[in-house]
Amino acid sequence: MSEKPSSTEQKIKLRDMPRNLWAVSLTSFFMDISSEMVINILPLFLSNVLGVKTNIIGIIEGVAEATSSLLKVFSGWLSDKLKARKWLAVSGYALSAISKPFFYFANSWGMVAGVRWADRVGKGIRTAPRDALVADSTREEQRGLAFGIARAADTAGAMLGILIAVLVIWLVQSNNATLQAGTFRTVVLISLIPAVLAVLSLALGARDVPIKGQREMPRFAFRALGKPFMIFMVIVGIFDIGNSSDAFLVLRAQERGVSIIGILLMLAAFNLVYALISAPAGSLSDKVGRKRLIIGGWLVYAAIYLGFGLAQTAWHVIVLYILYGFYYGLTFGTTKAMLADLVPEHLRGTAYGTYNAVLGILDFPASVIAGVLWQGAGNWSGWGPSAPFLFGAGAALLAAVLLLAWKPEEGKIG
């Protein structure tokens, strides 16, 4: 049995982490403060204020993520071709920041969709170059910890953003049963400040990293990324077809009787768990292998989604959503680190873009399926809102079994 690293060793590891990691982490922290203030109450704005049906909400979310994902392939490939990551990432963050004020003027679901899609275009431009910048800046033995730290900062920002939204709703809105239009617009205005700080943090704090070794001209060829990457993406795709937008979890909470402030506090607690788990889980993946952590996270997801499908009361949903943070903490940073292990250094941007694109494109049918199941299942089975969560649990369980059966090369992956 290996000895547990001392606190001094852990501090040295953190101190040795590169400047780019801290710049990216600070940027993610600020942008998630801004985004989570708005995005978590957006489904409630659509449903409570604009009267939009769940199937339309599913389409809005699905198209937004699919649009974002198509750009992730191109931006990742372009960062490989240009041998530069930073300014593509900065431009993506800037576009998201510029789009946010238009939520203030949105008075129809079409306008909301347009602004949401513009915000996701920014995410599509920035995500792959940003992740590749982190991977390029860190050593393999630190990569899991590095992505864990980045996810922890991202999630800490999300938690703070949600708490700010809670405070605004408490001060502005006396009736907590449904969201009011004026409350939503006040939250949007406040969210602009951290959005600007996010752009400045990356623009002023990060530096591009010279890539060692041969730089081949990257191609838009899926198989050029290698068989292990392709197999992993097929398995991840099976999982993701049941991983609909978290907007449905928010709607499920309200459907089970959780108030708006209760929902936001629930989300804050979820993000606290997510932030606390991310860095230790990433560090653990450096020691025991990425695959084990991902399988564990998917099994947690399956159990929690089954719970969402069977939930009868508000407190059931609240407990499950807080525990949902374990799934995110175990898998998100670990998966990003695993991708860097699977592909050559000069193709990392393309790999991250492809990974995000495949998942984002699948988010569209996943969210549409969830919306249709939510509304349609009650007509023939009596399940209604339970159906999308039972479907998601089954897909996650199947993906976990397939990943367990897959035997990649041992090392950090296994």
Q: Tell me: the pLDDT tens digits for 133-164?
A: 988 888 877 888 888 888 889 888 988 998 89
Q: Which residue has the higher pLDDT, 378 or 68?
A: 68
Is the pLDDT reported for residue 214 higher than 50? no
Smallest CA-to-CA distance from 387 within 365, 371, 363 is with 371
Question: What are the tokens at 31?
Answer: 């942008």
Q: Which residue has the higher pLDDT, 379 or 204?
A: 204
What are the tens digits of pLDDT across the range 27-46? 999 999 999 889 878 888 88
Is the pLDDT reported for residue 284 higher than 90? no
Please check whether residue 12 lies inside any domain of the structure.
no
What are the tens digits of pLDDT across the range 216-247? 544 555 667 788 888 999 999 999 998 887 87
Please check whether residue 7 lies inside any domain of the structure.
no
Q: What contacts 359, CB < 8 A, 6 or more positions away?
A: 69, 236, 237, 240
Number of Cβ within 10 Å of residue 263's Cβ equals 29
Please check whether residue 5 lies inside any domain of the structure.
no
Band (pLDDT 50/70/90 cuts) for residue 108 is confident
Band (pLDDT 50/70/90 cuts) for residue 10 is very low
Q: Which residue has the higher pLDDT, 396 or 50?
A: 396
What are the tens digits of pLDDT across the range 51-87? 877 778 777 877 777 777 778 778 888 888 887 889 9
Torsion 335-340-342-348 (CA) sign: positive
Instruction: Check: CB of residue 130 under 8 Å from CB of residue 354.
Output: no
Q: Which residue has the higher pLDDT, 330 or 381?
A: 330
The winner for highest mean pLDDT among 168-177, 209-218, 229-238 is 229-238
Q: What contacts 131, CB < 8 A, 6 or more positions away?
A: 147, 336, 339, 348, 352
The count of structural domains within the chain is 1
pLDDT score for 71: 83
Is the pLDDT reported for residue 296 higher than 90? yes
Question: What are the tokens at 312?
Answer: 């009868």
How far, in Å, CA of 398 to CA of 342, rounded? 22
Q: What contacts 68, CB < 8 A, 6 or more positions away?
A: 120, 121, 123, 124, 127, 356, 360
Query: Could you give the C-alpha distances from 237 to 3, 38, 42, 108, 398, in angstroms and in order?
Result: 37, 28, 26, 33, 11
Is the pLDDT reported for residue 114 higher than 50? yes
Q: What contacts 292, CB < 8 A, 6 or more positions away?
A: 285, 414
The CATH number covering residue 262 comes to 1.20.1250.20
How far, in Å, CA of 289 to CA of 267, rounded? 29
- For the chain, the distance separating the N- and C-terminal CA atoms, rounded to the nearest angstrom, is 18
Total number of residues shown for the chain: 414
Band (pLDDT 50/70/90 cuts) for residue 3 is very low
Q: Stretch 172-190: mean pLDDT, rounded?
A: 80
How far, in Å, CA of 374 to CA of 47, rounded? 14
Max CA distance (Å), the chain: 62
Number of Cβ within 10 Å of residue 46's Cβ equals 26
Range of the domain at 355: 19-208+219-405
Please check whether residue 154 lies inside any domain of the structure.
yes
How far, in Å, CA of 34 to CA of 100, rounded? 9
Please check whether residue 301 lies inside any domain of the structure.
yes
Q: Where are the alpha helices (DSSP H) in 100-246?
A: 109-137, 143-172, 181-205, 227-240
pLDDT score for 52: 78
Is the pLDDT reported for residue 5 higher than 90? no
The rounded percent of the chain whose pLDDT value lies above 90 is 26
Q: Stretch 251-257: mean pLDDT, rounded?
A: 83
Helix and strand totals (H; E) in the chain: 15, 0
Please check whether residue 109 lies inside any domain of the structure.
yes
Question: Dihedral, CA atoms, 305, 309, 314, 318, nearest 10 degrees?
Answer: 0
pLDDT score for 176: 58
pLDDT score for 73: 77
pLDDT score for 13: 60
Q: Is the pTM of this model over 0.75?
A: no
Q: Stretch 293-321: mean pLDDT, rounded?
A: 91
For 45, which DSSP code?
Answer: I
Q: Stretch 16-24: mean pLDDT, rounded?
A: 87
Please check whether residue 1 lies inside any domain of the structure.
no
For 102, which DSSP code?
Answer: G
Query: Could you give the C-alpha distances from 358 to 73, 77, 120, 196, 245, in angstroms and in order?
Result: 9, 14, 15, 29, 15
Please check whether residue 413 lies inside any domain of the structure.
no
Q: What is the 3 state secondary structure string of 277-324?
A: HHHHHHHHHHHHCHHHHHHHHHHHHHHHHHHHHHCCCHHHHHHHHHHH
The winner for highest mean pLDDT among 104-118, 264-278, 279-293, 388-402 is 388-402
How far, in Å, CA of 288 to CA of 240, rounded? 24
Residue in this structure with the two tokens 């838009």, named with its chain if needed: 220
Is the pLDDT reported for residue 9 higher than 50? no
Q: Which residue has the higher pLDDT, 246 or 384?
A: 246
Q: What is the mean pLDDT of the chain?
A: 83
Question: What are the tokens at 227?
Answer: 């068989």
pLDDT score for 383: 61
How far, in Å, CA of 191 to CA of 340, rounded? 33
Instruction: Check: CB of residue 340 under 8 Å from CB of residue 135.
Output: yes
